[in-house]
Amino acid sequence: MRVADLTRRVRAKNAGPFRLTIDCFCATDADWRRLCTALPAYRVAQALAAGPDTVIRYELPSLRVLKFSLPRPGVQGAVGDRDLHGAQWALVIEALALPADA
């Protein structure tokens, strides 16, 4: 099972020129709870090559959203920035494999 199997949508976007935000939207409370259990912040950090202490995780139960905020690998719009809006990071999270018991 992958993150995409438990979510309705995964969206990544800028949270200013220095941070990215990744939102995982679930369709049901059960899927949201399973995702919250199966996807700790350190897994997102590993997948995105970020320091484990730099990823902040937010649980928003009323919206069924699991949100992560982390530093961009470079300043938005700097030379070498290949994803100006940060949207492609969502694909990496969607593809993450979850533990078998998720």
pLDDT tens track for 17-37? 888 999 999 999 999 999 999
Give 84-89 contacts, CB < 8 A, sequence gap 24+. Answer: 85/13, 85/14, 86/12, 86/13, 86/14, 86/20, 86/21, 87/11, 87/12, 87/13, 88/12, 89/12, 89/20, 89/22, 89/48
What is residue 15's predicted lDDT score, i.e. its pLDDT? 82
Domain containing residue 47? 3-94
Kindly state whether residue 101 falls inside one of the protein's structural domains: no
Please tell me the pTM assigned to this model. Answer: 0.89
- Count of the separate structural domains present in the chain: 1
Kindly state whether residue 100 falls inside one of the protein's structural domains: no
Kindly state whether residue 17 falls inside one of the protein's structural domains: yes
Mean pLDDT of the chain: 90
- CATH number of the domain bearing residue 66: 3.30.980
- Work out the pLDDT band at 65, boundaries 50, 70, 90: very high
Provide the CB-side half-sphere exposure for 95 (13 A, CA): 7
Kindly state whether residue 16 falls inside one of the protein's structural domains: yes
Whether the per-residue pLDDT at 102 is higher than 70: the answer is no
Whether the per-residue pLDDT at 101 is higher than 80: the answer is no
Kindly state whether residue 20 falls inside one of the protein's structural domains: yes
Kindly state whether residue 102 falls inside one of the protein's structural domains: no
